[in-house]
Structure 1
Amino acid sequence: MKRHLKWSLLLIIILLLTGCAGKRELNDLALVMAVGIDKGEEENSFKVTAQIARPADARGQTGAPSGQTGEPILTIVGQGESLFDAIRDLSSFTTRNVFWAHNQVIVINEDLAKEGIAQVIDFFTRNPELRMRTWVVITPEKASTLVSTVTGLELIPGEAVNKLFRYGEISNVAPNTQIMDVQAAYLSQSSQPIIARVALKEVMVSNKKPEKGPTIKQVDLAGAGVFQEDRLVGILKPEETRALMLFTERLKSGVVTTPCPSKPERTVSVELRDQLFQVTPHLKGSQISFNAEFDAFAMVVEAGCPFSINNQEKVSELEKAVEKKLKKEIETTVNKVQKEYKTDAFELGKVFQNDYPGYWMQIADDWEEVFPTVDIKVSINVEVKDSVLLWEETNSGKKENSAN
């Protein structure tokens, strides 16, 4: 009896043991950190640029170890009739197995995006090795150039773009688009994809030649691309993108700068806090309309002219100026997307579907034609409640400047 029990326990333990048949050694892998996709040299072909990390050279050391280049990344390019074909081309001259699970960002050239990104969406959502939370961006630059640009603070360019989005909520100039968001919007009947836009901009100063000013290009958040199904149909500037993101994302803060009421040559900046943006659909007969209401508390973070939070007249003037500027920005973006691009990047179809599912079934197939005709009314309410640490005016103590 004891012998049978021992053999049974041994058999159970053997069955529970995990094998190592599918293991992959780290030294055998080429870790892709970013990928750029351009049009290939041949018609209807793709060029894929993979940014691969060099673990031995990405430690911040000044001298290259023996057998290494000292560069933190290796950039390789493959071409093919399809994305998979181009990626297989990478394997023909890579000494390691190309591994995609650590990829941080997919960069798509705008010329390719204008022709359609359906194949990009299909490939990067079908492959089980790829993560659905990978960032997706478009760029007017060659994608191969952007993914190989080394940034100032991060050793790996792909990691730099990843952190741009993680901390980009401070500036709110580009949406946080991941491949899962793009796929969901592409497959949806009620909304269209929007993708963050990045570009190379001379913003970094050389420490060796600071007198020349910014001369080194870095990756810069530069608004958003608006799509009709899988084709890029328009570009939104950063200030227009902020207005778009009110409809699609929950923004924590924002900054509005407006001229001083008494001194138009100077400015006052307020930071918007506790923002609430709500879109309400209405159906009257067959006429569809939306009310977009924006409420926020604001605090004065910089005053180029004398300002006191206790002066209710000045506070009221500032509130009206901020409301006017915000309304103009939102209405300008709404008109551009609705009338010029004629694509529902605001996800208003989804909002209408939630409140009127029955009527939505009647118009779902025609929403592309209906959306440009709907009425969108914008109302803004901003209350300036705080002036940070300075509640009184900041005036010079000199008599000759006291009136300025």
Structure 2
Amino acid sequence: MKRAAGLVITLIILLSQTSCFGLRQINELAIVTAVGLGLGDKPGTIKVSAQIIRPADARGQTGAPSGGTGQPIYSISAEGTSIFDAIRNLGRVSSRRVYWAHNFLIVMDEDYARKGIKDMVDFFTRNHELRMNTRVAVTPDLPDQVVSTITGLEVVPGEAVDRLFQNNHVVGRAPASDMMNLEEAFLSSSTEPVLARVQLKPRGISNKKPEEHGSLKQVELGGAAAFLGDKMVGWLSVKEARGLLFFLEKLGSGIEVVKCPNNDGVMSIEFKRARLKVTPSYANKEPKFGVRLTTEADIVESGCAIHLDEGIRQDAEEKLEQRLKSNIDSVIDKAQHRYHSDFLKLGDVFRNKYPEEWRVLKRDWNRTFSDAKIDVEVEATIKSGVLKSVGTEIR
């Protein structure tokens, strides 16, 4: 009898261990794929806009599935005195529990970012459902419009923006910012945060109205937002963002278009295997930095002449060097003299080489960084696309 009772108890325990007490059915969840943050209409409030996927309609079909609407997403918004309060208020209009584990994007408007993002970093890093590789960006547009914009290729807009970030290394016009590197910079004493800029541009063409070019707005990734502490201090242009990526992401390749020396045409130059080296030094209680960029390049398209000679090659190298140096100089000048914010991570480089000196300088590093001398040198070598001699092309 005792053995039978023990067997029953054992079976009950085993069954309880294999059951799904925490199971959440997909038809009971509001799966968020993008979220927008902005200031609310009432003073002291925050507006949260959520892009929620419709599982029944997100099938990539042209027509609406049976019982569906044909729209792959459903966008809702709510306000509150905090982010958590606003999210709780989403429950007033959402019939399902908001679920964050599949969120691709957090986008904030400029006013919200300038006021401070400390609460955003705190909330989303504490949220156990959120992935730390979630993309983070700032927009000059309304964030609820950004997260609800349907793209032409992807079914889910949040996923489309995530793919823009994934392919960003090809274009090289914005930092690949996510929650992980945002929190890292936010907690660091040697660098400041910088986030990608997204905005709506009339780039799409309607299939129903092809004659109306740009009749559909699409999300464009380009430029960046610079921060000092938790507050946004200004924008970086696409050109400045290109220079920024050499420091932050070791940008290795890209395209630059320069003018021809012999006519009004232009040539496209692809630089590759780019290497940026930053060398810090310290003398007379003043830090200095030497920045050297070396790269190889190919002429991939030319409107200069049918045959490109050695003189055109040298001119192209000089113009490429000037273009890349201008990109780097412009972002350094913006960081030092306008925003007084070391988002270039030069403080990290200095700290690694001079740890003792850093203990003193870190107390007011942004001011010290703003006064530091930074010398920039660029060397480019074109390997192919020109003629070394008649009938011999450099490869």
Asked if these proteins are the same fold (TM beyond 0.5), I'd say yes
CA spacing shift, 1:301–1:22, aligned 2, 3 Å: same
Is the 2:244–2:344 contact (alpha carbons within 8 Å) kept by the matching residues of 1?
A: yes
Is the 1:307–1:392 contact (alpha carbons within 8 Å) kept by the matching residues of 2?
A: no
The superposition leaves residues 194-234 of structure 1 with CA deviations (integer Å, 9 ceiling, x where unpaired) of 00001000111122222222221100012000000111101
Query: Structure 2: how far apart are the matches of 1:261 and 1:389?
Result: 16
Structure 2 residue aligned with 1:187:
187
Is the 1:307–1:314 contact (alpha carbons within 8 Å) kept by the matching residues of 2?
A: no
Letter in 1 for 2:127: N
Structure 1 residue aligned with 2:337:
339
The superposition leaves residues 162-183 of structure 1 with CA deviations (integer Å, 9 ceiling, x where unpaired) of 1110111111111000011111
Query: Structure 1: how far apart are the matches of 2:275 and 2:89?
Result: 50
Structure 1 residue aligned with 2:302:
303
> Pairwise mapping of residues 267-278 of structure 1 onto structure 2 (< 5 A)?
267-278=266-277
CA spacing shift, 1:217–1:280, aligned 2, 3 Å: same
CA spacing shift, 1:276–1:308, aligned 2, 3 Å: farther
The superposition leaves residues 293-318 of structure 1 with CA deviations (integer Å, 9 ceiling, x where unpaired) of 10000001111111646x33322221
CA spacing shift, 1:261–1:84, aligned 2, 3 Å: same
The answer for unaligned runs of 5 or more in structure 2 is none
Query: Structure 1: how far apart are the matches of 2:372 and 2:354?
Result: 15
- Aligned-pair distance for 1:240? 1.0
2:211 is paired with a residue of what secondary structure? helix
Structure 2 residue aligned with 1:329:
327
CA spacing shift, 1:155–1:286, aligned 2, 3 Å: same
Structure 1 stretch 167-176 or stretch 81-90: which is displaced more? 167-176
Q: 1:364 aligns with which of 358, 362, 365?
A: 362
1:354 is paired with a residue of what secondary structure? helix
CA spacing shift, 1:391–1:160, aligned 2, 3 Å: farther
- Aligned-pair distance for 1:327? 1.2
The superposition leaves residues 145-177 of structure 1 with CA deviations (integer Å, 9 ceiling, x where unpaired) of 110110111111101101110111111111000
Query: Structure 2: how far apart are the matches of 1:19 and 1:52?
Result: 29
Structure 1 residue aligned with 2:148:
148
Is the 1:40–1:47 contact (alpha carbons within 8 Å) kept by the matching residues of 2?
A: yes
Is the 1:201–1:219 contact (alpha carbons within 8 Å) kept by the matching residues of 2?
A: yes
Is the 2:307–2:387 contact (alpha carbons within 8 Å) kept by the matching residues of 1?
A: no
Give the 4+ runs in structure 1 shifted more than 6 A.
388-393
> Pairwise mapping of residues 132-147 of structure 1 onto structure 2 (< 5 A)?
132-147=132-147
Query: Structure 1: how far apart are the matches of 2:268 and 2:306?
Result: 11
> Pairwise mapping of residues 63-142 of structure 1 onto structure 2 (< 5 A)?
63-142=63-142
CA spacing shift, 1:167–1:7, aligned 2, 3 Å: same
**Is the aligned partner of 1:247 residue 2:247?**
yes
2:305 is paired with a residue of what secondary structure? coil
Structure 1 stretch 190-199 or stretch 88-97: which is displaced more? 88-97
Structure 2 residue aligned with 1:352:
350
Query: Structure 1: how far apart are the matches of 2:61 and 2:299?
Result: 44
Structure 2 residue aligned with 1:315:
313
Letter in 2 for 1:353: R
What is the RMSD computed on CA atoms of the aligned residues? Answer: 2.4
- Aligned-pair distance for 1:334? 1.0
The answer for unaligned runs of 5 or more in structure 1 is 394-404
**What is the identity percentage for the equivalent residue pairs of Structure 1 and Structure 2?**
43
Letter in 1 for 2:377: S
Query: Structure 1: how far apart are the matches of 2:248 and 2:271?
Result: 18
Structure 2 residue aligned with 1:400:
none
CA spacing shift, 1:307–1:251, aligned 2, 3 Å: farther
1:112 is paired with a residue of what secondary structure? helix
Query: Structure 2: how far apart are the matches of 1:51 and 1:19?
Result: 32
1:381 is paired with a residue of what secondary structure? strand
Structure 2 residue aligned with 1:402:
none
- Aligned-pair distance for 1:66? 4.2
2:18 is paired with a residue of what secondary structure? coil
**TM-score normalised by the chain length of structure 1:** 0.91
Query: Structure 2: how far apart are the matches of 1:90 and 1:15?
Result: 37
Query: Structure 1: how far apart are the matches of 2:235 and 2:203?
Result: 22
- Aligned-pair distance for 1:71? 0.8
2:14 is paired with a residue of what secondary structure? helix
Structure 2 residue aligned with 1:373:
371
> Pairwise mapping of residues 205-224 of structure 1 onto structure 2 (< 5 A)?
205-224=205-224
Letter in 2 for 1:173: R
1:214 is paired with a residue of what secondary structure? coil
- Aligned-pair distance for 1:44? 1.4
CA spacing shift, 1:285–1:267, aligned 2, 3 Å: same
Q: How many residues align?
A: 388
